[in-house]
Structures are given as structure tokens and as C-alpha cells.
Amino acid sequence: MKLLRGKDLKGKTLDEWLRKRRPSDFGDLKADYVKRYNELEDFLKTDVHPLVSIGAAVKDGIFLNDHGPAHVATVIKRASDLVSADTCELTPYETYVLLAAIQLHDIGNILGRTNHESRPRDLEGRLEGLLGDDSAEKRLIRGIAEAHGGTNNGDKDTIRQLVEDPVLNQKVRTRFLAGILRFADELADDSQRISTFAIENNAIPDASRLFHKYSRSLQSVIIDLKGQAINLHYDLTRADAQEEFSKDNAKLYLIDEILNRTVKMHRERTYCIRFLRPSIQLECINIKINVFKSNTSPDTIFSIGYRLEDKGYPTMPEQGIYEICPELSTWRNGQPLNGSRLLAEIAETKE
């Protein structure tokens, strides 16, 4: 079986690599996975992805930035960049599973934005048949797709809940693949997702403007595997900086959103890297923000840079141990565990 070695990708994307595989590259597996992937992609590109944003708009009244074929292609590109690490290898089957999951991960938006992550399994019809006829394999792909966000039984740690279970004699690193998808999706929120025309012509509802402006400002996302870093570059104009936006009944500026989103990206990096190590190492995110006078002016008013990384000694949670272990705060009879409570309980049980 010919493995995908990250260093051999050399700028190609995962799907380009997959399409060159032959059935014999998949070992004992009988299905033609390249053909299956192509059919899946064609169907989604034609029948589903173009409608995802429309579905969200109809259902929730929001104007999503692009969740269509271009976004999927960006996620695949980001995933390919992540996998290009020298120490990273994927089997052909894992490559198929990852790509299929990427294709599926946002289609739940067609039924509305909220909880869209867990919706792939709600979608029936032709999609079912395109994923093959083995239930466990379909569940595997959906599970990876669904773990890209949201919660599972109220728990945000969706990747950890995935079980590593071989499928059709293939060992699949389920959490590793889910980590790649999740972080690649996080990195795919750049300026290619937006409709510049819609922004310039104020066609975006107020509630959605900020997300589009944010995407427009993110000029580049570079995955520097040698430096173990992600480099983000934002450009905004004076006018962008001055504009106030509505979000969750609050008013804020674009720079606030950039700061929030880069922190979110930092948290996602911290979370996903647990499942990506040792094959993929990413230790920090470097952010550079240039503020220009205008779109046509080369003059920079400010150049802001910062780095998000795990540093310093971990701080004590505000609530102490009760924050980390909430069950201790209601140990017995709703009372927290501490010295005097333990003494009181011992006294009550003594004969």
C-alpha cells in the first residue's frame, strides 16, 4: 500500500493525490474509493453546496459567508498544507475518509446554522448511497465531519469522544483526521469566503456584516510547518476600523472581532494539536494587522503584531479546584468538599 507522505505532496492537494490512486493502493478493500469520492464531490458541488448558504438564510435569516465549493476547496487546501509535515503520513483510505468528511462537514447548514455540525446524519436520499453501503464506514465519516464544532451530549470535547475503531480491515486514526478537519476549517475563513460585491453594495444584513468584513480583512493564512507556526495577515482600512457592527446585541469594531477570532483560533490550535501530535506540530499563531488609510493608499497607519502561544505558568482557576472538578462543589447534600464538611460528614456516620 502506497502511503501519502506529507513531504511528498509538494504543493499538491490531498484530492489531487487521491485521484491518482489505483484500486490496488487500497489493499484488500473492494470498493473503488477514487470513483466514489469523485461521485460524492460532483453531487455535492452541483446539488448541495451551492444551496447551503441559501438554506441557512431561509432557515435562520443569516447571510453566511461562503460555505460552498470554494470553501470546501480552501479547507482541502489547508488540510493538505497541514498534512505536508515531514513526519506526517496518511494511508489512501484515511485520505479518502478525510476528504469525504471535509465534503460533508458544512452541508448541515442547509437545514439551519444552529447545530449544523450534527446534521449530516439527518440528510438522507442520494447522499446515503454515495457513501457506500457499509454503515460503520458511513458513521466514521459522519463522526469526523460532525466533530468539527458544536457539542456532543453537551460536551465541547467532540474529538475525544470519537472511538478509534478499524473499519473494513483498515486502521483509521479517527481523532487525528478529525483534528485536521477541524483546524483546517478554522484556518479557512479568509477573504475568499466573501462576496465583495455584496459587501460593497450593502447587500449583507447588519447581523452578518461583521463576519463578512472579518473574512475580507484576512488576507493570508500561511502554515509554516518548519517554524511550527500559523502566520495570519490582516489588512484593514481606516473606514473598516471606524465602522461599528452589531453582534449578539452588542456593538463592536472589526479589530475587536479580529482579536476575538484569533483567540478562538488559538484555543482551537491548543485543542486540536492534542490529536495532531506528534505528526503535526504547531506551537504558535503569529498575527500581523496592517491598518491602511484607504484601499488605494499604500500608507500604513499602524502595523500591529502579536503572537498567540502557550506560555507562562498556568494560572489558578478563579474557583480553584471546583472549576476544574465541578462535582466537588456539590460533594454531599449540595455542599462543597472541604475540611470542615468532611469532618461534619464523618461525625454523622460515626456509630
Q: Which is nearer to other proteins, 61 or 317 (CB)?
A: 317
Residue 25 beta carbon to other proteins: minimum distance, rounded to whole angstroms? 17
Stretch that binds other proteins, among 39-47, 163-171, 269-277, 310-318 (CB under 8 A): 163-171
Contact pick of 169, 303, 333, 340 for other proteins (by CB under 8 A): 169
**If residue 52 lies in a helix (H) or strand (E), which one and from where to where?**
helix 49-60
Residue 178 beta carbon to other proteins: minimum distance, rounded to whole angstroms? 13
Dig out the grid coordinates for 264 from the structure: 478562538
Which residues are CB-neighbours of 315 under 8 A, at least 6 positions away?
Answer: none
Rg, the chain, Cα only: 23
Contact pick of 2, 5, 160, 341 for other proteins (by CB under 8 A): 160
One symbol per residue from 114 to 153: x for binding other proteins (CB under 8 A), - otherwise; what is it? Answer: -------xx-x---x---xxxxx-xx------------xx
Cα–Cα distance for residue pair 332/351, rounded to 1 Å: 19
The per-residue DSSP string of 138-157 comes to HHHHHHHHHTTSS-BTTBS-
Q: Is 157 one of the binding residues for other proteins (CB under 8 A)?
A: no
Dig out the grid coordinates for 250 from the structure: 452588542
User: Which residues in the 63-102 window bind other proteins by CB under 8 A?
Assistant: none
Residue 155 beta carbon to other proteins: minimum distance, rounded to whole angstroms? 9
Contact pick of 248, 299, 318, 327 for other proteins (by CB under 8 A): 327
Contact pick of 50, 61, 166, 320 for other proteins (by CB under 8 A): 166
The string over 15-43, giving b where at least 16 C-beta atoms fall within 10 Å of a residue's C-beta and e elsewhere, is bebbeebeeebbeebeeebbeebeebbeb
User: Assign residue 273 a region: left if phi > 0, alpha if psi is -120 to 50, beta otherwise?
Assistant: alpha
Q: Is 333 one of the binding residues for other proteins (CB under 8 A)?
A: no
Beta partners for residue 232, in sequence order: 221, 287
The string over 83-108, giving b where at least 16 C-beta atoms fall within 10 Å of a residue's C-beta and e elsewhere, is bbbeebebbbbbbbbbbbbbbbbbbb
Name the residue with cell 502566520. 231
Contact pick of 10, 11, 28, 251 for other proteins (by CB under 8 A): 28
Q: Is 200 one of the binding residues for other proteins (CB under 8 A)?
A: no
Q: Is 1 one of the binding residues for other proteins (CB under 8 A)?
A: no
Q: Is 165 one of the binding residues for other proteins (CB under 8 A)?
A: yes
Q: Is 161 one of the binding residues for other proteins (CB under 8 A)?
A: yes
> For binding to other proteins (CB under 8 A), which residues are involved?
28, 121-122, 124, 128, 132-136, 138-139, 152-153, 160-169, 325, 327, 351
